[in-house]
Amino acid sequence: MKRRRKKIKLGRAKKSIIKQPKKKIRINLAHLAVIGKWIFKIAVTCLLAFVGVWYFGQQVSTVGDSMNPVLSNGDVVLVNRIVYNATTPKRGDIIVFKPKGNENAHYYIKRIVGLPGESVEIIENRIYIDGEKLDEDYATTDIDDVGIVTEKIQLAGDEYFVLGDNRKSSEDSRNADVGNVKREYIYGKAWLILSPKKDFGFVK
């Protein structure tokens, strides 16, 4: 009798295992489509944010007062790094660069005066481009020291001549440590003053 009862119990256990229904995994395609759209939107947003910060939001601090009155010592400016991928630097642009391409140097911020292929002379406080006097429509100080520009300078096809607006206190292309600025050394164009708040606005 005892053995018979054991067999019955085992038989019931087997039947209960066989009767258990298999669970089916249902995939809702509509939900997957919605999730896919959100992932795509997030990826695009992240990409645009990265591009915006990398090309338009790079911050550089102004060192010294060579660009007074446009920029003062300590001003933080944003640099447009993409503009010169579409166009070439123009006369009057305020650019950000590292002299001689020296990665260990701080960024310099100066205004372009001479363009590639032009000749530059400084005679009696006046700048001459290809023999013609340059008319500047921004405030500058007198050029008391011509530095290395004691005679006409000929710019190569990839070189720019730059000066600070405050020419009494500016280390620029008149100095041997800076000299002419090659295109490859230009980091970008200064376009927005971020701080101090009282000076917030576009760089003129």
182 lies in the same domain as 165: yes
133 lies in the same domain as 118: yes
> Annotated catalytic, 169?
no
Under the banding of pLDDT at 50, 70 and 90, the label for residue 56 is low
Under the banding of pLDDT at 50, 70 and 90, the label for residue 35 is confident
pLDDT value at 100 more than 60: yes
> Annotated catalytic, 110?
yes
Pick the catalytic residue: 110, 170, 173, 189? 110
Instruction: Give the CATH number for residue 90.
Output: 2.10.109.10
pLDDT value at 131 more than 60: yes
* Boundary residue ending a domain (39, 54, 69): 54
Domain count, the chain: 2
More confident residue, 15 or 201: 201
50 lies in the same domain as 78: no
89 lies in the same domain as 155: yes
17 lies in the same domain as 113: no
Q: Confirm if 163 and 180 have CB atoms less than 8 A apart.
A: no
20 lies in the same domain as 112: no
Give Cα separations from 70 to 54, 73, 109, 190, 191 (angstroms). Answer: 24, 10, 11, 11, 11
Give the predicted TM-score (pTM) of the model: 0.73
Pick the catalytic residue: 2, 23, 66, 169? 66
Q: What percent of the chain has pLDDT over 90?
A: 67
* Boundary residue ending a domain (16, 31, 54): 54
Buried b (16+ CB within 10 A) or exposed e, 148-167: ebeeebebeeebbbbbbbbb
134 lies in the same domain as 41: no
Residue span of the structural domain in which 106 resides: 60-202
Q: What is the mean pLDDT of residues 121-145?
A: 95
* Boundary residue ending a domain (33, 54, 75): 54
